[in-house]
């Protein structure tokens, strides 16, 4: 092998190496396996499978709804906050939230946990009844879009 050939060989190898490296750097991911930010249309779904805790979500919803009044009355940010809490919770995860919430004492007339009758306990209600009482018809309709099994 002459020195000239050796030189060409070196240049050729370098060019190949650069192209090979470039291919791996700029290769597009067309797998379709990425995590969809909407959490819609895929099973098992969700960008929030990591870090999702049904009990935490249920507690946040409870804290939001336990105070006096409804979303349309006295608590102007209640609907906003409920939607924010549930934003990354998909339908399957909401099943778990409902289970985690269980049945809690609730005064459906006042929208709070105030018991006006000292001789009997408040009836216990599930999460869906709480939310249906607190939120207006438009909000319930939008919740039904995402959680059709519950609303």
Partner 1 sequence: MTTVKANKKGSTSKPRHKVAASPKRRGLNAIDVNVSNKLIDEGGLFLLKTGVLIGIGYFIYYKFVNRFQSLSQNSSYPAANISDGEAETRANAIFGSMSTFGNSVTNVADNLQGLNYNAFVKVYNAFGKRPGYVTSGDLNLVEWLNDQFDETQMNALRFLVPGLF
Interface residue list for partner 1 (CB under 8 A): 28-42, 47, 79-80, 83-84, 86-88, 138-139, 141-142, 145-146
Least distance to partner 1 from the beta carbon of 88, Å?
Answer: 6
Q: Which is nearer to partner 1, 63 or 138 (CB)?
A: 138
Distance CA 5, CA 2 (A): 5
Tell me whether residue 3 or residue 41 sits nearer to partner 1 (CB atom): 41
Smallest separation (angstroms) from partner 1 to the CB of 123: 29
From the CB of residue 90, how many other CB atoms can be counted at a distance below 10 Å? 22
Query: Would you say 86 or 106 has its CB closer to partner 1?
Result: 86
- Among 139, 148, 127, smallest CA distance to 65 is for 127
- Please list the alpha-helical segments (H only) found in 27-90: 54-65, 78-86
């Amino acid at each position: 092998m002459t020195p000239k050939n050796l030189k060409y060989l070196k240049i050729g190898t370098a060019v190949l190496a650069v192209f090979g490296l470039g291919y791996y750097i700029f290769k597009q991911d067309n797998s379709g396996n990425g995590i969809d930010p909407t959490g819609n249309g895929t099973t098992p779904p969700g960008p929030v499978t990591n870090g999702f805790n049904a009990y935490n979500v249920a507690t946040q919803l409870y804290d939001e709804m336990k105070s006096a009044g409804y979303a349309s009355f006295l608590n102007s940010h209640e609907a906003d906050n409920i939607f924010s809490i549930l934003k990354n919770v998909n339908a399957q995860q909401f099943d778990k939230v409902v289970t985690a919430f269980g049945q809690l004492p609730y005064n459906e007339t006042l929208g709070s946990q105030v018991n006006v009758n000292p001789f009997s306990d408040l009836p216990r209600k599930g999460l869906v009844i709480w939310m249906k009482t607190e939120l207006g018809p438009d909000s319930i309709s939008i919740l039904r879009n995402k959680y059709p099994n519950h609303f």
